[in-house]
A and B are shown apart, each in its own frame.
Chain A
Amino acid sequence: MPVLSAQGLCKSYGDVDAVRDVSFVVESGEIVGLLGPNGAGKTTTLNMVLGVLEPTSGSIAIEGMDLRKHRAQALARTNFAAVYAALPGNLTVYQNLRVFGLIYAVPNLKARIEESLAEADLIRFRNTKCGVLSSGEQTRVSLAKAMLNRPRLLLLDEPTASLDPAMARDIRRRIRAFAAAGTGGVLWTSHNMYEVEEVCDRVLFISKGRILLEGDPRKLPAAHGKKTLEELFIALARESLIPEPT
Chain B
Amino acid sequence: MSAARILAVVLRQYYLIRGTFARFLPLFAWVAIDMLTWGFLSRYLDSVAGSPLNFVPRLLGAVLLWDFLVRVAQGVTTAFLEDVWSRNFLNFFATPLTVGEYLAGLMLTSIATSLVGLIVMLIMATTVFGLPFLALGAISLPYLLILFLSGISLGVFGAGLVLRLGPASEWFIWMIPATLGPFAAVFYPMSSLPGWMRAISYLVPPSYVFEGLRSVVGGGRLAWSPLLAGGALTAFYAALAIGFFRITYRRAIRTGLIARYSAESVS
Contact = CB atoms under 8 A, between A and B. Distances in A.
| Chains A and B form a bound pair | yes
Interface of A: 13, 43-44, 47, 50-54, 71-73, 75-76, 78-80, 82, 84-92, 95, 98-100, 102-105
Interface residues of B, number: 31
A75 B99 CA distance: 14
Nearest to A79: B95
A188 to B, nearest CB: 16
Given A54-B253, A85-B90, A90-B86, A104 B12 contact: no
A113 to B, nearest CB: 13
Nearest to B254: A54
B220 interface: no
A88 B19 CA distance: 14
A104 B259 CA distance: 19
B54 interface: no
A89 B16 CA distance: 11
B20 to A, nearest CB: 8
Interface in B211-267: 253-256, 258-259
B5 interface: yes
A213 B216 CA distance: 77
Contact of B16 (A71, A76, A84, A91): A91
A90 B16 contact: yes
Interface of B: 2, 4-5, 7-8, 11-12, 15-16, 19-20, 82, 86-98, 253-256, 258-259
Contacts of A103: 4-5, 8, 92, 95-97
Contacts of A99: 8, 11-12, 15
Contacts of A52: 89-90, 93-94, 253, 256, 258-259
A95 B86 CA distance: 15
Contacts of B253: 51-54
Given A53-B256, A88-B86, A102-B5, A75 B19 contact: no
A51 B90 contact: no
B1 to A, nearest CB: 10
A106 to B, nearest CB: 10
Nearest to B256: A53
Contacts of A50: 90, 94, 259
A48 B19 CA distance: 35
Contact of A80 (B86, B94, B256): B94
Contacts of A86: 87
B196 to A, nearest CB: 42
The 9 closest A-B pairs by CB, nearest first: A102-B8, A50-B94, A88-B86, A72-B96, A76-B96, A53-B256, A52-B259, A85-B90, A103-B8
A80 B95 CA distance: 9
